[in-house]
């Protein structure tokens, strides 16, 4: 319900999760078409910065790469920015495009991709994950501000947390203990119990 041009000059923050560089790589590898703007167009920072530029937004503008968790970490950072008063509104999300075979080949050789291409999260039959493309963006505000402005509130984030798994059986292997720890921290911040 917010007209994008109405945010111009505001402290709106932009937080974008990204973990692959297929688009930028393609731009930079097409040498005959490289021009002065290709470098910034290929940079991951431009994912957030271009939105801030196009909409004339003055809040933080951050591209986040934490691999699979990038969009969730972008949402966490957006919430923190709202809580600290750095941003009055925050646009938070993530994007992934699969434009080249290299990443798929590498992940397949590493044994991380499910043979059938289907993610089976938290399932006994989990055997890897399926890559996909997409883009999603949330418009976030502090609840009091959203209520004051008459915004339609679809959900309330009451707590979040971020961590790294530390040393595991392999750099891409998750740690159940570390995952439990971050969930407990998010619940504690939210003032709820994990159950």
Residue 4 has pLDDT above 90, yes or no: no
Give the DSSP letter string of 34-95: --TTHHHHHSTHHHHHHHHHHHT--S-EEEE-BTBTHHHHHHHHHHHHHHHTS-SSEEEEEE
Angstrom distance (rounded) from CA 113 to CA 152: 39
In this prediction, residue 72 carries a pLDDT of: 96
CATH topology for 5-97+133-157? Peroxisomal Thiolase; Chain A, domain 1 (3.40.47)
pTM for the full predicted model:
0.91
pLDDT at 1: 80
DSSP type of residue 22: H
Phi and psi based region of residue 90 (left: phi greater than 0; alpha: psi -120 to 50; beta: remaining): beta
For residue range 59-117, what is the model confidence (pLDDT) as tens digits? 999 999 998 899 999 999 999 999 999 999 999 999 999 998 998 999 999 988 999 99
60: exposed, middle or buried (C-beta count within 10 Å: 0-12, 13-18, 19+)? buried
Domain chopping of the chain, boundaries: 5-97+133-157, 165-194
């Amino acid at each position: 319900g917010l007209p994008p041009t109405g945010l111009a000059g505001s402290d709106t923050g932009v937080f974008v999760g990204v973990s692959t560089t297929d688009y930028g790589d393609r731009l930079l590898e097409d040498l005959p078409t490289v021009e002065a703007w290709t470098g910034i167009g290929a940079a991951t920072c431009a994912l957030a910065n271009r939105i801030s530029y196009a909409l004339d937004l003055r809040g933080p503008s951050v591209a986040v790469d934490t691999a699979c968790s990038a969009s969730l970490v972008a949402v966490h950072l957006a919430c923190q920015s709202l809580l600290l008063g750095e941003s009055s509104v925050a646009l938070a999300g993530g994007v992934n495009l699969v434009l080249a075979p290299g990443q798929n080949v590498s992940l397949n050789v590493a044994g991380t991709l499910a043979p059938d291409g289907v993610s089976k999260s938290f399932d006994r039959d989990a055997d890897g994950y399926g890559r996909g493309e997409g883009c999603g963006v949330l418009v976030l505000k502090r609840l009091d501000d959203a209520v004051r402005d008459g915004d339609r509130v679809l959900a309330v984030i009451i707590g979040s947390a971020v961590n790294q798994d530390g040393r595991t059986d392999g750099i891409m292997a998750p740690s159940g203990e570390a995952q439990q720890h971050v969930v407990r921290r998010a619940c504690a911040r939210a003032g709820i119990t994990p159950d």
